[in-house]
Structure 1
Amino acid sequence: MSLRVAVAVPFRAAGSRRMAESSFVVDLSLDRDWFSPDQAKRLVDVAASEGLLDREGDELVAGFDPDGVSVPEGFHPDESVLQQRSVFEKTLGACVEAGVEKQEAVAGINRLQADLAVTIETAAILYARRRGIDVAAETDAALADL
């Protein structure tokens, strides 16, 4: 997922899982020229909403191991990483990250939705859980939306 990669890069450069939010923004905007400062701040908000970042005062803490993320040569994120994703999109993304082909996951989720007469979010969560994929955060978000 390019959001995870974009978040990991500044932490990897700093050699830490914790850094000042201002340093994170400077890395993404001025040092790398990937985003404007406002867009970099938006990326912080999106990443925090997806559980990739935690805020502790003026610092950001990675919610994952940045060194465990593979950064492709010449990586440059596009602006789509600045958009918050729906519960369905997050759950589908978790399935794909777990090794399920996207087309296979979408077809399975659609079958469950039709068979059980439930929302697409519910079907996606059920599909993932049946495959042992951790979607606890997505489940909590879906329940909160009810």
Structure 2
Amino acid sequence: MSLRVAVAAPFIQHGSRRLEENEFVVALSLDRDWFSPDQAKRLIDIATEEGLLDRTDDGLAATFEPGEVTIPEDFDPDEDLLRKRSAFERVLDSLVAEGMEKHEAVGAINTLQGELGLTIEAAAVVYARREGIDVDDLAPVAREAVLDTEGD
């Protein structure tokens, strides 16, 4: 779950769960040289949309425990982090973060999709719930995908 790793890095560096936005941007752009300042700001937007960050009056707050995230030595985030991810991709990241092999999760979700006749997003949410993984924040997105499909 490289988005979580990239978001956690500035908090780990500063030993805090709260940072001013400029501290976060400097940590990712100047200190680590992972992103340009504009890209780091885009990462804030993506992480906020995905529930990893909260914007507060005094800056940014991590919604997870950054200290529990391990940053691999050779970690170099891909620019794909800067694009909005589908509900399927987000659920898949949650499954992988819980220790499931990516290819196994994709196969199981595809099987479930075929068995239940659901969209890939809905099948991913159902599968994650069956595995005991909390993806309640993505259920409305999956529901919307089902409703959009019914209208076609």
Separation in 1, partners of 2:28, 2:129: 35
Q: Deviations over 1:5-50 (max 9, x none)?
A: 1111111111110010011111111222211111000000011111
Shift of 1:114: 1.1
Q: CA RMSD in A?
A: 1.4
Distance 2:34 2:122 in 1: 35
Please give the residue correspondences for 1:88-107 in structure 2 after superposition, counting only pairs within 5 Å. 88-107=88-107
Give distance in 1, aligned partners of 2:100 and 2:119: 21
User: Conserved in 1, the CA contact under 8 Å of 2:122 and 2:143?
Assistant: no
**C-alpha distance in structure 2 between counterparts of 1:11 and 1:51, whole Å:** 16
AA paired with 2:92? Answer: L
Q: Runs of 5+ in structure 1 lacking a partner?
A: none
Aligned to 2:68: 68
Partner secondary structure for residue 61 of structure 1: strand
Which residue of structure 1 lines up, in the alignment, with residue 150 of structure 2? none
Partner of 2:116: 116
Residue 37 of structure 1: aligned partner: 37
* 1:15 aligned onto 2:15: yes
Distance 1:105 1:8 in 2: 25
Residue identity (%): 60
Residue 63 of structure 1: how far off its partner (Å): 0.8
**2:92 and 2:124 in contact (8 A); partners too:** yes
Runs of 4+ in structure 1 deviating by more than 6 angstroms, as ranges, are none
- For 1:75, the aligned partner's letter is F
Q: SS state of the match for residue 27, structure 2?
A: helix
Q: TM-score by structure 1 length?
A: 0.93
Structure 2: state its 5+ residue gaps: 148-152
Aligned mates of 2:144, 2:61 — CA distance in 1: 25
Q: Distance in 2 between matches of 1:74 and 1:103?
A: 23
Q: Compute the TM-score of the two structures, normalised by the length of structure 2.
A: 0.89
1:5 aligns with 2:10: no
